[in-house]
Amino acid sequence: MVIDINLPSYNALIGVGNWSYVNGGSRGIIVYRRSIDEFVAFDRHSPADAAGTCPQPLIPDPDNFLTLVDSCSSATFSLYDGSPISGSDFGLRMYQTSFDGSSLLRIYN
């Protein structure tokens, strides 16, 4: 999939250190802008919920936006690199990204 970060729905991605939700993946995708030309994208399906029984996808912690929280198991993950912080032995599923340097971000397997 390709998204245009200049569109209003992805406007947060214009600034470094911001994130945005994107449709796709198992429970949606969250994209984080690490630097001017580096983005990371993770599936919002928690590895701590392998059966997919939790009705909520991962969400950013309101007290620390660089931490994603599984509301059912309380497992936490790093938005910076997808690694588990607590409550899970596995990190987040990461998608590849490619940025054209202007406005188009490609997210793919």
| 47-100 tens-digit pLDDT | 999 888 999 999 999 999 899 999 999 999 999 999 999 999 999 999 999 999
For residues 82 and 100, give the distance between their C-alpha atoms in angstroms, rounded to a whole number. 23
Classify strands 29-35 and 59-61 as parallel, antiparallel or unpaired.
Answer: unpaired
Do residues 15 and 6 lie in contact, with contact meaning Cβ atoms separated by under 8 Å? no
CATH number where 38 lies: 2.102.10.10
For the entire predicted model, the pTM comes to 0.94
The domain tally of the chain equals: 1
User: What is the number of other CB atoms lying within 10 angstroms of the CB of residue 25?
Assistant: 19
- Please name the residue that has the structure tokens 């188009």: 104
Look at residue 50 in the predicted model and tell me its pLDDT.
Answer: 85
Give residue 56's domain range: 2-108
